[in-house]
Amino acid sequence: MFAVTATQTDPDNPLKGLTLGDRPEPTVPEGWTTITVKAAALNHHDLWTLKGVGISQDRLPIILGCDAAGVDENGDEVIVHSVIGTPVNGDETLDPKRSLLSETYDGTFAEKVAVPAGNVVPKPAAISFEEAACLPTAWLTAYRMLFDKAALEPGSTVLVQGAGGGVATALIALGRAGGFRMWATSRSEEKRARALELGADRAFETGARLPERVDAVMETVGEATWAHSLSSLRPGGKVVTCGATSGMVAPTQLAQVFFLQKSIIGSTMGTRDQLARLAVFLEQTGVRPVIDRVLPLTEAEDGFAAMHHGDVFGKIVFTV
């Protein structure tokens, strides 16, 4: 079958290890099932794998891709939940030995993917395969950050750092639909304008002084925006962080945290049940993922190059 594979890693030239071509069809362990992939979405995780982050050389070659929507063995349209783990208190993302598809097991950038039978959820008919493929990583991460970890009430003000990425655009769209006042930052004037079109109430240059402090900050950028995120919070506010694309090590003014009782909350992916509820949320509200471009899987290198150069607003989707 045709697949997109990581065959080597290079932190400076990640596309060097991207290989497109024939791979064996997946083996199916007991309790697993095969999904025929119709669409799959690109994530920074795929680019980091090619850079050598979070993967060892002995696991290569491995098929890339965390996200997919397709058809199961019964012919039903489904969305793939990409977290492989044993639930801890009902939450598989808390398993310290968990992995994502494309870390230990082959991923979704292929004609077929094998997953545990419990890792599929129904795809609502109103949502296309391309839209559904955006949900399992970026949109599920955003859903959990807003509605679970931040536990905000409608009318709250939320700052999204770094408008433009898949998680950031999902946060803006979901937050707007959830009744929050959404603010966003970006270095790019074009991305600030698009954030407003997407539903943000205000858009600011990265690092700009805000007109008032916010109830929560959604952090995906990390080192470059961390100080601004903490200083932008009201007393008792929350920073929810799910990633750090600009760097993992960021100084923290601890006096701000304890004296003003601010909370720093980590969030990773989401549960299978949350993915199912996210799909229903989109079906009921009419909110749909922002798709930057749709490419055939055979042109995956163009999508990886766009992400590598930061030329993206929303999700890049590959069709199979």
In this predicted structure, what is the pLDDT of residue 26? 96
Residue 171: both structure tokens together: 């946060």
Please name the fold of domain 139-266. Answer: Rossmann fold (3.40.50)
Instruction: Determine what percent of the chain falls in helix, strand and coil, rounding each to the nearest 5.
Output: 30, 30, 40
Residue 103: both structure tokens together: 């870390």
Residue with tokens 């783990």: 85
Q: Which CATH number fits domain 2-134+289-319: 3.50.50.60, 3.40.640.10, 3.90.180.10, 3.90.1150.10?
A: 3.90.180.10
What would the DSSP string read from start to end of 38-86? EEEE--HHHHHHHHTTT--GGG-SEE--S--EEE-TTS-EEEE--EE--
In this predicted structure, what is the pLDDT of residue 208? 95
- The string of pLDDT tens digits covering residues 224-236 is 899 999 999 999 9
- The string of pLDDT tens digits covering residues 198-213 is 999 999 999 999 999 9
* Cross-strand pairs, 84: 99
Q: φ and ψ at 136, to 5 degrees?
A: -65, -25
In this predicted structure, what is the pLDDT of residue 7? 97
Domain boundaries, the chain: 2-134+289-319, 139-266
Q: Count of CB atoms within 10 A of residue 271's CB?
A: 19
In this predicted structure, what is the pLDDT of residue 310? 86
Judge whether residue 142 has pLDDT over 90: yes
In this predicted structure, what is the pLDDT of residue 272? 96
Judge whether residue 40 has pLDDT over 80: yes
- The string of pLDDT tens digits covering residues 237-279 is 999 999 887 788 888 889 999 999 999 999 999 999 999 999 9
In this predicted structure, what is the pLDDT of residue 89? 87
Q: Residue 165's pLDDT band (boundaries 50, 70, 90)?
A: confident
Q: Residue 64's pLDDT band (boundaries 50, 70, 90)?
A: very high
* More confidently predicted of 177 and 223: 177
Q: Residue 39's pLDDT band (boundaries 50, 70, 90)?
A: very high
Residue with tokens 């024939």: 22
Q: State how far the Cα of 210 lies from the Cα of 42, in Å rounded to an integer.
A: 32
In this predicted structure, what is the pLDDT of residue 219? 96
Residue with tokens 């296309």: 128
Q: State how far the Cα of 147 lies from the Cα of 141, in Å rounded to an integer.
A: 10
Q: State how far the Cα of 23 lies from the Cα of 241, in Å rounded to an integer.
A: 36
Mean model confidence pLDDT for the chain: 95
Q: State how far the Cα of 192 lies from the Cα of 163, in Å rounded to an integer.
A: 7
- For residue 104, the surrounding DSSP H or E stretch is none
> Is-same-fold flag (2-134+289-319; 139-266)?
no
Q: Determine which of 11-20, 68-77, 243-252 has the lowest per-residue pLDDT on average.
A: 243-252
- pTM to 2 decimal places: 0.93
Judge whether residue 30 has pLDDT over 90: yes
Judge whether residue 311 has pLDDT over 80: yes
Judge whether residue 313 has pLDDT over 90: no
In this predicted structure, what is the pLDDT of residue 314? 87
- The string of pLDDT tens digits covering residues 265-275 is 999 999 999 99
Judge whether residue 101 has pLDDT over 90: yes
